Structure 1
């Protein structure tokens, strides 16, 4: 029963990340001209760029094959994450992390399928130094991965201390 509730939470987080990402990308595509940059805050621009690669534009200029490669990886990862979320041994923090990553992976996969590339629109910078542009899906993936690391470093020990 608790595993089902935890899995529902994970899938709910995945759906939330997916919905937020689809909505924000649709707004960017509709309202921000491709290649445009709008200063929003002194350290934040809203941009409209396409990333044909992965994180930090890895393989962006690889010639087109990478699209199908990243779709296959996202599909395999999504199936694996769904299995992990439903696994009875997964903890609540793990299910939440898996859900965040799943939502981000699916959102970017759908972008690759539909647009051939991922829409990135958040551009943090400090003066002339810009972090690579990203989107809500990337935030879900990053927060989910950080939650897994945090849980592995601190959460498991606490659980074993309580049970031990």
Structure 2
């Protein structure tokens, strides 16, 4: 397995519902924010000073679009003031023009994952209005964080 990217996303009062636990939609928001940090700021050795993140090598006008998301909740996520959510992310598949980010979301570092998630991302060339074929350098950057698919219970 390659590296795993771990980040903290600060819990917000808007994340909770009237029952005091994190709303399922907000859990996806937290994971999407972590995905954004992963793709934009994950460390790769040897990057030039002006290049950051796993997608630093895509062509101009290319961005990632979410094609699908799958989430499974393993435990209740209670809101704890000043305690950030912990998200661990890795790349579990790289295709021709898409890749899958897998993640585990924890409320407590010592606890198991409260949610597991997979997000299929398509690299989209806005100038050509079509999918962008992943180049060998971008593929190598993504593979630095290669790991298994998310551990769903199904």
Q: TM-score range by the shorter chain?
A: 0.3 to 0.5
- Greater radius of gyration (CA): 1
User: Which has the larger share of strand?
Assistant: 2
Q: Scaled by the length of structure 1, what TM-score is found?
A: 0.31
Q: Scaled by the length of structure 2, what TM-score is found?
A: 0.32
